[in-house]
Homo-oligomer: A and B are copies of this chain.
Amino acid sequence: MTAPESEEAMLARGRASIDRQGMMATLGVELIAVERGRVELALRHDDRFTQQHGFMHAGAVAAVLDSACGYAAYSVMPPDASVLTVTYTINLLAPAAGQRFAVTGSVVRAGRTLVVCRGEAFADGAERPFAAMQATMTALHDRPGISG
């Protein structure tokens, strides 16, 4: 049995994982905070990823919410595990209007092979999310990391 990983180690592990993902690097996603069962990512408005009314495309928001749920699941798994998204449901409650988006992921319940998470995305410090996700993640035990 190993000691629980420190938050500092989880942050370093998460940031290294983001660096290995072309998509997260291209979107400019930052890992802000991580604790056991909960993470916060940040995304900035970028004209390359807009829909036609000039707001961030739901696809970009969904990718970051999916990653937030993935890192939340990852934070309750052994360090050698790999996270895969099985399925998620996203509700788009309002346009992604703003400059900076806080995207949180948290574990609802972790089973033996499946972890269910929830994600929320907030624009510029708003109190109510503009997008909400319920995600089912699974663990692979042969290759560490987040597989998106």
Q: Which residues of A contact B (CB under 8 A)?
A: 17, 20-24, 26, 47-53, 55, 57-60, 62-64, 66-67, 84-95, 108-109, 111, 113-114, 116, 118, 128-130, 132-134, 136, 138, 143, 145-148
Q: Copy number in this complex?
A: 4
Which of B47, B52, B60, B118 is within 8 Å of A59, CB to CB?
B60
CA distance A143 to B55 in the complex (A): 15
Given that A22-B50, A111-B93, A147-B95 are contacting pairs, would A66 and B58 also be in contact in the complex, using a CB cutoff of 8 Å?
yes
CB distance from A134 to the nearest CB of B (A): 4
CB distance from A45 to the nearest CB of B (A): 11
Given that A111-B93, A132-B108 are contacting pairs, would A20 and B52 also be in contact in the complex, using a CB cutoff of 8 Å?
yes
CA distance A133 to B89 in the complex (A): 10
CA distance A118 to B133 in the complex (A): 10
